[in-house]
Amino acid sequence: MTSRATHGVVTLAAADLRIEPDHRAELGSQLLLGEIVRLLGGPRQGWWRVLNLADGYRGWLKDWAIVPASKERAARWRALARTRIEAPLAEVRTAAGAGGGVSPVFFGGRVIASRARGGHRMVELPDGRRGYLEAAALRDEGKRAVDLLTRVKAVLGAPYLWGGRTPAGYDCSGFVQQVLAEQGVLLPRDAQEQFRACVRLTKGELPQVGDLVFFRASGRRMQHVGIGLGGDFYAHARGVVRVNSLERDNGLCDNELSPQFQAWARPLVRVPARGQTP
């Protein structure tokens, strides 16, 4: 690493961000392929303390998960990597539709991609590895994203993982953050911060698709969050990504969670450009 390396670009499909520089430490969050971090401290036995520029979350990251970069190099990567992974999970391979594995990739990751040929596109990862993905697994910036309900259906059943941000495992706020980011809605990482980034609906105001529903069992901080699907229905990560209802007489009501309901709220920060992910 050169002395000018103040940033890093994530080169794994998902990189664990821990609250201490130890694999046994709590998983605070994850970083996605192509996200940019600022180096805050380290290295400490192969760990860097970093800040995720996508959502401001801080933690400790193993050095093998990033390509160290100057601020300028990180900006060049961001300018070239204008293609997002749209499939929940895909595999970059050494040949179009065949060959050995290069890397798995998850929904929300970012790559450099060539034009489609024969239903596939060549992609480049931040560390220079190249391979091929099905064109249908990718979406270029500026292209319309799938609608929110379609995305929720695509990740139903994804397992719960504390700190998770991928379809291999989401926590509640990670699920909300990633699904709404695709719709051009930027949110912080944790449920309480997401609540602060919303305006609470007034009594009698009906929730819309994309509004957030918040819960807490005790204390002052919001402890759980889901995405409104219309009416009293919402999607959330609890055990698995699933759909429930706040209506007590509905068979989809989560009778354990519903008494903890606190508020419906509407996100404030949106990206004013055709719904693409920033």
Query: Side-chain half-sphere of 137: how many Cα atoms within 13 Å?
Result: 25
What is the fold of 81-140? SH3 type barrels. (2.30.30)
121, pLDDT greater than 60: yes
148-267 has the same fold as 7-78: no
Tell me the pLDDT band of 276, cut-offs 50, 70 and 90.
very low
Q: Which residues contact 63 (CB under 8 A, 6 or more apart)?
A: 43, 46, 47, 48
Q: Nearest CA to 147 among 187, 180, 106? A: 180
Burial class (CB in 10 A: 0-12, 13-18, 19+), 263: middle
Report the pLDDT averaged over residues 88-109. 96
Taking the C-alpha atoms of residue 256 and residue 211, their distance in angstroms, rounded to an integer, is 22
Confidence of residue 244 (pLDDT cuts 50, 70, 90): very high
pLDDT score of 1 more than 80: no
- For residues 3 and 43, the answer to whether their CB atoms sit within 8 Å is no
Q: Contact 38/51 with Cβ under 8 angstroms?
A: yes
CATH no. of 148-267: 3.90.1720.10
Quote the pLDDT of residue 37: 98
Question: CA 129 from chain center: how many Å?
Answer: 22
Residue with tokens 């392929």: 33
Architecture of domain 7-78: Roll (2.30)
Question: 89 φ, ψ to 5°?
Answer: -150, 135
Q: What residue type is assigned to position 107 of the chain?
A: F
Measured between alpha carbons, how far is 92 from 64 in angstroms, rounded to an integer? Answer: 19
What was the pLDDT predicted at 275?
A: 30
Task: Give the pLDDT score at 271.
Answer: 43
Locate tokens 């009416």: which residue? 231
Q: What's at 128, amino acid-wise?
A: G
- Which residues are CB-neighbours of 203 under 8 A, at least 6 positions away? none
- Averaged pLDDT, 270-275: 38
Domain range summary for the chain, segments of one domain joined by +: 7-78, 81-140, 148-267
